[in-house]
Structure 1
Amino acid sequence: MTTTQRQKPVFRFAPSPNGPLHLGHALSALINQDMAGKADGRLLLRIEDIDLTRCTPDFETGIYHDMEWLGISWERPARRQSEHFGEYQAALQQLIGRGLVYPSFMTRGEVKTKVASHEAAGVPWPRDPDGSPLYPAEDRELSEVERAERLSAGLKHAWRLDMRRALEAAGSNLSWTDTGDGERGIVEADPAAWGDVILSRSDAPSSYHLSVVLDDALQGVTHVVRGLDLFHATSVHRLLQVLLDLPEPAYHHHRLVTDASGRKLSKSEGDTGIAELRAKGLSAADIRQLVGL
C-alpha cells in the first residue's frame, strides 16, 4: 500500500455470501461507490463469511458477478473473513485476559424458557433494540471456580462481553459522528441497551460485532456506509473500538429499501435478487432508478 493510498478516504461494501444480493444490497454498494468517487477515495469489498454453515462459494461468486454487472469497481482481492479467524481470536483473548468477557453456557432453548416463564408472571423481560431478549445474568455471576469446572468439563459455550465491566473500562461519553438518513451529527452511544452481546460462539470463532470492528481497523476503513438497520449496533462497535484501541471511522447510515408493506428486504424472505432482475432484462441503470439513485 502506497502513502497516497493511505491518505485517501477508504470505504467498504461488506455483504455476506449466505444468499443472493437484492436491491437493498445494490443501494448500499452504489452509495459506497458514489461517496468514494466524490471523496476521491478507495472502495473495498469484504466478504463476511464467518457463518461457515450458511455462506457458500456459489453465493460469493454471485456477489462478484452482481457487483461487476452493476458497474462497481473495487480493490482486489476482496478480504474474506474466514481467512482471518486467528486475528479475531487474538482480540478475543485480549478481552478475556482483561476480564471483560465470560463464558456463557445457556442454550437458546433455555433462555427462551426462562424469558417465557418470567413474562408469564407479568414481568416484562428487557430486550435489545432488535427486540431480542437480553441474556440472563446467571452465567455472568458464576464464580471463577464454577466457570473453570464447566470449561474443563468441555461444556459447550459462547463468549459474551460483560457489559458492565466493559463500560467501566471504556469510560463515559461514547459517541460517533453520523451523516446518514437517520439521526445526524454527534450520536450518543448506548451499548448497555444490547446487554452482554456474544463475541464468539462454539460454531463461529467470531461474532459480527467483533469481526467488523477489527476488519475496519485492519483495512484502514475511514468511512462506514451501511443501512439504518445497523444504526443502533454502532453503539456496540464504538465500545469495542475503545476497548481494543482501534480508530473511530466516520459513519453514514443510509435509508433502507423496503417492500410494499414497509418491510426491509431480506435474503431469507426470498426478495427479488439482482441476478433475477438481470435475467428479466433490467439494466444496471434500471437498478439505480429502482433504488432511488
Structure 2
Amino acid sequence: MTISNRQNLDTADRFTDNIEQRERVGQIFEKLFLLGLLTGLFVLALLLFDVLRVGLGRFLTPGFITETPSRFPEVGGIAPALIGSMLLGIIVILTAVPIGVGTAIYLEEYAPKTWWTSLIEINISNLAGVPSIVYGLLGLSVFNYFLGFGPTLISGALTLALLSLPVIIVTSREAIRAVPDSLRHAAFGLGVTKWNTIRHHVIPYAVPGILTGVIISVSRAIGDAASLIVVGAVSFLTFNPGLFNRFMALPIQIYSYITRPEPGFANAAAATIIVLLLLILALNGTAIYIRQRFSH
C-alpha cells in the first residue's frame, strides 16, 4: 500500500468517526428535546387533572354559567364575567386585527427601508415583551381619563387591543415576508397593481401565519388580569355588562374566588378556569379552522 493510499484511508476513517460522533450528539439532543416536551405535557396534564377534579362538579351545577355571582360559593354563577370576556375578545379581534395586519402590510410592502422604519420595527418588537400591567397603566391614562370612558368595558377592551397589537404586527410581518417574491413578480408582469397583488395573492398566502399571531395574542388578552385590574374591572356584578358599564371578566372572577377563605370558592374558581379554557379553545379552534381553509 502506498503512502498516498494510506493517507486517503486515514482521512476516510476520520471522516467516518466525525459522522458517527455528530450522529451520537444529535441523538442525545433529540432525547433531551423529547424529555422537555414530555415534561411540559406531564405538567399540563397534572394541572388539567387537578382543575377538573376540583371544579367539574361545580361546573356542572345548574345555573353556574347563566346566573350572576353570589356571596355564597354553592350558589350563583359567572354570567357577567363570561359575557364580559366574550365582549372583550370580540372587540379585541375587531380592533387589533385590522390595525395590526394593516400596519404589517405597510411596513413590509410600502414603507421605505430607512433608519426611521428600522427604529419603528425595533420598538414594535420590544413592545411585544412589555408586561401587561404597563399597558394597563397606559389604558388607565388614555381611555379612562384622557378620553373620559371611565372604568368601563370599552376601556378594558381597547387596553387589551393595545396589548395584542405588537404580537399581531410581528407575526403578520413574518407571514407576509415568507410569501415568495416570485408570486409578486408574476402578478406585476401581468399588469396587476400593487394593491390588487397584496389583496388577492399576498394576504391569502399569508393568512395561516397571520392567524397564528392572532391566536396567540387574543388568547393572551382574554386570559390577562393585571391590565384589567388597573383599568377598573370589578369582581362582583349583579347585571350583565355593556360597552360603557362597569364590567367583569373571567380572570378577575378567578382571582376573586381564590382570594376568599371559604372552601367552596376554590371549587368555583376551578370551575371558572374550565369555562375560560373552553372559551379560549373555542376561539383558537375557529381560528385554526380558518387557517386550514386558507392553507389548501
Pick the structure with more helix per residue.
Answer: 2
TM-score (norm 1): 0.26
Higher Cα Rg, which structure: 2
TM value normalised by structure 2 = 0.26
